[in-house]
Amino acid sequence: EGIGTVIIGRPNVGKSSLLNALAHENRAIVTDIPGTTRDVIEEFVNVRGIPLRLVDTAGIRETEDIVEKLGVERSHQALSRADLVLLLLNHSEELGDEDRKLVELARQHSTIVVVNKTDLAPRLDLEEVRSLIGDLPLITTSVTEEKGLDALEQAIADRF
C-alpha cells in the first residue's frame, strides 16, 4: 500500500538523506525490504495525510551511472511502477549528462524536481534546469539544514 514514490538522482545528491528526513519527520514505520536489487530500501511515510511508499534507488545507483552502465531500459524499469518521482539535482554542481538523461526520464512521469544542497556555493544553472523540466514543479532544499522540506511536503500533497 501507499503511493509508490521513487527517488532518483546522481550518486551523492542526497537521496538517502531525503528519505531519512521525510521518514524521521513523520515518525514512519521503517521497513528494509531486500529485493532483487541489493540495498533498495522502501520506507512507508505519511506526508500531510498522504501515505507514500518511498523507494530509495541506492542499490541500483551504486553502479555510479545507471544510465550508461545499465542502460536507459533499467531506469525505465525502476520508474515503471512509480506514481510519483522525486528527481534530485545538486545545487552545488553543474548539470551533467546523467542529470539531463534523468530529467528526460522524469518528464515522462509525475515528477517533482528537488534541487538539494542549497547551503553550498551554487554551481547549478537554475534557469537551465527550469527550461529543461518544463511544467514540472521545482523545490529547493537543504536536507542537512532541514530547509525546504515543508515546501516539498506541500508540493507532494498538492499532487494528490
Q: Is 12 in the site for Mg ion (CB under 5 A)?
A: no
Residue 16 labelled as part of a binding site = yes
Cβ–Cβ < 8 Å for 3, 53: yes
Partner interacting with residue 14 (select from ligand GDP, Mg ion, none; CB below 5-8 Å by kind): ligand GDP
b/e per residue 59-88 (b: at least 16 CB within 10 A): ebbeeeebbeeeeeeebeebbeebebbbbb
Work out whether 17 is an interface residue with ligand GDP (CB under 6 A). Answer: yes
Q: Judged by CB under 6 A, does residue 46 bind ligand GDP?
A: no
Q: How many CA atoms are closer than 13 Å to the CA of 148, on its beta-carbon side?
A: 16
Total binding residues toward Mg ion, as defined by CB under 5 A: 3
Helix (H, G, I), strand (E, B) or coil at 63: coil
Residue 13 counted as an annotated binding residue: yes
Asked if residue 16 binds ligand GDP (CB under 6 A), the reply is yes
Has 59 been labeled as part of a binding site? yes
Task: Check binding of 58 to Mg ion (CB under 5 A).
Answer: yes
